[in-house]
Amino acid sequence: MVDMINKPNKGPFVSLMTGLPGGGKTFLGILLVAAFFVPLSNTFLPESSPFYVPTYLVSLMGKYVCFALLALSVDLIWGFAGILSLGHGAFFALGGYAMGMYLMRQIGDRGVYGNPLLPDFMVFLNWTELPWYWFGFDIFPFAMLMVILVPGLLAFIFGWFAFRSRVTGVYLSIITQAMTYALLLAFFRNDMGFGGNNGLTDFKDLLGFDLQATGTRLGLFVASLIALALGYLVCCFITQSKLGRVLIAIRDAESRTRFSGYRVEYYKLFVFVVSAILAGIAGALYVPQVGIINPSEFSPANSIEVVIWVAVGGRGTLWGAVLGAFLVNWGKSYFTGSFPDAWLYFLGGLFVFTTLFLPKGIVGTAAVWIEKFKNKQQGSSPMQAPVPVKEEQ
């Protein structure tokens, strides 16, 4: 035995210092390399070099990195606490809108109607003054605070009700879907003051940096990578702590956890809010890189897709979720370009294949193989947050 006894829980800081879960260091290493290599390559290498990363790819990867952070946030609640949110896109979009509102205010009088205070779409709707909820968004720190607060608060209120009422399983999934669907419809309304179907667009600059400039793109790309790395560390910190094990306990046997004296609803609420904040940050980084935020980000289909990224990569493995986000989105980019008429077959087929043949996702399945391989050679050792033996429902 008994590395558990030799290595009892010394608290989350110690856990984080002494070792990340399987593959974590390599993962962080890759992020670090990318953070250095991509900007250097884009800036200094000639276009003809095989290692040159074109600006087009920088934006694309920046977008993927934001999706990866979103996937990570879903994995934190689904993989570890068993909360399947089919509405996480809502938090992503809210973070995005908060950032979009800042970027809108930055346009100032450079809009087509030249109104120094009101964004174009408000001028257009005959609004004469800025609605109260747009106040303060011209101040960057305030906007960033909102990026965290708005999704966090929504998650807190929603979670407070749902978890206290012990809404679980499919019921929870469906009401998260109802939440994002209701928000989708609400944001579609032009009267809401968020630009309706077109959303917020036509951004000019961020903190004085021109959004079209390659330098800004590189900066955003690196910022996204840093956010992803930090997000990953936060997730590791949580999942490696005792709290992480309580979450897994909740996932596997909720009543047992309750009868062991844990207020399950608070734990769920905590992790749900953390996850929503991560999703919000991802959204905020996403918006300046794609240049638009509109209600379609709230669509239930988008949220379901995020869950699929996690499932493809491997639930409960953290960096597996990141991998899943990269793979699926890269697949989407590639196939929509190369097989515009058939790409849905590939994508749909991938999902079916994954569930049938890689039920634990790519990383989970790889881990099982390695485990088997190791077992042949030596004794066994437990894994971090293994995929649950049985489903929670």
Site residues for other proteins, window 9-68 (CB under 8 A)? 9-12, 14, 19, 22-27, 29-30, 34, 50, 53-57, 59-61, 63-64
**Among positions 17, 186, 207, 230, the unique one binding other proteins when judged by CB under 8 A:** 186
360: nearest Cα among 316, 303, 309, 322? 316
Distances (CA, A) of 372 to 76, 314, 366, 368, 369: 26, 18, 10, 6, 5
Nearest distance, CB of residue 227 and other proteins, angstroms: 17
Map residue 170 onto helix, strand or coil. helix
Following DSSP, what letter does each residue of 197-261 receive, concatenated? GG-EE---EETTEETTSHHHHHHHHHHHHHHHHHHHHHHHHHHHSHHHHHHHHHHH-HHHHHHTT
Strand 200-201 vs strand 205-206: parallel, antiparallel, or unpaired? Answer: unpaired
Backbone angles phi, psi at 172, to 5 degrees: -65, -45
The answer to whether 324 and 71 are in contact (CB under 8 A) is yes
The C-alpha atoms of residue 292 and residue 57 are separated, in whole angstroms, by 18
Map residue 292 onto helix, strand or coil. strand
355 lies in the site for other proteins, by CB under 8 A: yes
Nearest distance, CB of residue 278 and other proteins, angstroms: 16
**Among positions 152, 236, 319, 321, the unique one binding other proteins when judged by CB under 8 A:** 319
376 lies in the site for other proteins, by CB under 8 A: no
The C-alpha atoms of residue 275 and residue 118 are separated, in whole angstroms, by 33
375 lies in the site for other proteins, by CB under 8 A: no
**Among positions 174, 223, 233, 234, the unique one binding other proteins when judged by CB under 8 A:** 174
343 lies in the site for other proteins, by CB under 8 A: yes
Q: Which stretch binds other proteins (CB under 8 A): 69-77, 98-106, 141-149, 162-170?
A: 162-170
Residue pointed to by tokens 């606490």: 81
207 lies in the site for other proteins, by CB under 8 A: no
Residues 274-313: x where in contact with other proteins by CB under 8 A, - otherwise, as a string: ----------------xxx-x-x---xx--x--xx--x--
> What's the token pair of residue 152?
């966090």
234 lies in the site for other proteins, by CB under 8 A: no
**Among positions 179, 206, 229, 285, the unique one binding other proteins when judged by CB under 8 A:** 179
Stretch 107-146 residues interacting with other proteins (CB under 8 A): 112-113, 115, 121, 123-126
362 lies in the site for other proteins, by CB under 8 A: yes
Strands (E), the chain: 200-201, 205-206, 209-210, 292-293
Nearer to other proteins by Cβ, of 113 and 135: the residue is 113
**Among positions 44, 129, 255, 378, the unique one binding other proteins when judged by CB under 8 A:** 255
**Among positions 153, 198, 205, 233, the unique one binding other proteins when judged by CB under 8 A:** 198
> What's the token pair of residue 187?
């944001």
Nearer to other proteins by Cβ, of 211 and 223: the residue is 211
378 lies in the site for other proteins, by CB under 8 A: no
> What's the token pair of residue 190?
């032009």
**Among positions 140, 142, 156, 188, the unique one binding other proteins when judged by CB under 8 A:** 188
Nearer to other proteins by Cβ, of 136 and 169: the residue is 169
Nearer to other proteins by Cβ, of 172 and 281: the residue is 172
Nearest distance, CB of residue 150 and other proteins, angstroms: 18
Map residue 293 onto helix, strand or coil. strand
